[in-house]
A = this chain, B = another copy of it.
Amino acid sequence: MTDVSTPSLDLSQSTPEITRQICDIESVSGNEGALADAIEAAVSGLPHLEVIRIGHNVVARTRLGRAERVVIAGHIDTVPLNDNLPTRWEEIDGVDYLWGRGTVDMKSGVAVQLKLAVELTDPRVDITWMWYENEEVSSELNGLGILAAARPDLFEADFAILGEPSNSQIEGGCNGTIRIEVRTFGTRAHSARSWVGANAIHAAGPVLDVLSRYEAAQVEVDSLIYREGLNAVGISGGIAGNVIPDECMVHINYRFAPDKTADQAIAHLEQLFGAWDITVVDRAEGARPGLDAPLARAFAEAVGGTPKPKYGWTDVARFSALGVPAVNYGPGDPVKAHADDERVSVQQILDCEVGLRSWLQADGEARAVGAADGAGAEAGAGADADAGTVR
């Protein structure tokens, strides 16, 4: 007998509590069904939202006839567990955290989005909320890609915000990423008569020397400084303990600033490693920060702080490729994404909620939601003074 009950979400709770609820519905990539069902149920039946479901992707949008439209998106899958569910509350050095898989990447961001989707019935811009599957796995499974292919009209927008972890600060654009395999070759022989062969592993030394000597650039794009990186992420070679190997492979990852296209980045790698056999095994364009778009500027002003560059590749690049300026804005320290001790600061969840809410709510609604805002601030203060209030 299979369990046919659908876990339900209570979006009247605080955003840290909602984070906990959706983290405890395990949704490792490929297993997002139950959480997508719960999300769909929680946002359906509201007069201000049209809900569309494709696969395990849920879209909810307002159709208020506003002059501008913003897409706000978050993926609902996580990387595999490592004994880090269910979640638990933790206090470290006086800071309150929610610990567990998905708390940073990126269910706290999704929790804030869900809360606001339900509560902001009269926002200043039209909003298209998107919660999608399979971000953590190979690109062709990505839910945002599936939505874009099925319903390109849903991506017609003036600005996009992706809730990827960014310490509740705006991180603009993202670096691109290329992976190549560089191969060296030799001649197999018994190692007792090594002079008969040619050692492919020894021949890989100069490849590693290129990597060691390489000085990664820091590139300014639209006033943000993108830091690049060129690294071996794998190496393999060898047949047996008594055989001179005839092949060695160095797997290299190049993270390149969004001033370059992927083609230009590959050309750069071909210059560096032109002496060897190169295979491109992965490529993803970067995204320029898009902070010069009017809506982006307004958002940055409302949220405050100094926008930073995003180093990791995120789905903002998909929006960027569609001509929609996009930024990352979500709770959680990206360094803790995928970590076994993944945990999000409770305060950052509340900060993100306040930031998004204050910008999205219309003037009229600002007053109406003042109480909720106050509640959020109170919960935040409570989290500092007495973590029990958010538990």
Contact = CB atoms under 8 A, between A and B. Distances in A.
Given A245-B234, A311-B192, A208 B211 contact: no
Given A202-B208, A205-B209, A208-B204, A191 B231 contact: yes
Contacts of A211: 199, 201-202, 205
Nearest to A199: B231
Interface centre among A196, A234, A235 (most CB of B within 10 A): A235
A199 B232 contact: yes
B192 A229 contact: yes
Contacts of A242: 177, 233, 253
Nearest to A244: B231
A190 B177 CA distance: 12
Contacts of A240: 233
14 contacts: A177-B242, A190-B338, A191-B233, A192-B312, A201-B208, A201-B211, A201-B232, A201-B235, A202-B212, A205-B208, A205-B211, A235-B238, A236-B237, A241-B282
A236 B233 contact: no
Nearest to A210: B205
A229 B191 contact: yes
Given A202-B208, A238-B251, 11 more contacts: A179-B241, A190-B334, A190-B335, A192-B255, A201-B208, A201-B233, A201-B250, A203-B212, A231-B244, A233-B243, A236-B236
A253 B238 CA distance: 12
A251 B237 CA distance: 10
A231 B244 CA distance: 7
A201 B234 CA distance: 7
Interface string A54-72: 0000000000000000000
Contacts of A194: 216, 229-231, 255
B212 A231 contact: no
A332 to B, nearest CB: 14
A273 interface: no
Nearest to A232: B201
Contacts of A229: 191-195
A53 interface: no
A27 interface: no
A166 interface: no
A260 interface: no
A337 B313 CA distance: 51
A212 B208 CA distance: 13
A248 interface: yes
A251 B248 CA distance: 13
A227 interface: yes
A219 to B, nearest CB: 14
A241 B233 contact: yes
Nearest to A243: B233
A-B interface, 9 closest residue pairs, ranked by CB to CB distance from nearest: A234-B238, A205-B208, A192-B312, A194-B229, A201-B232, A192-B311, A202-B212, A191-B253, A235-B237
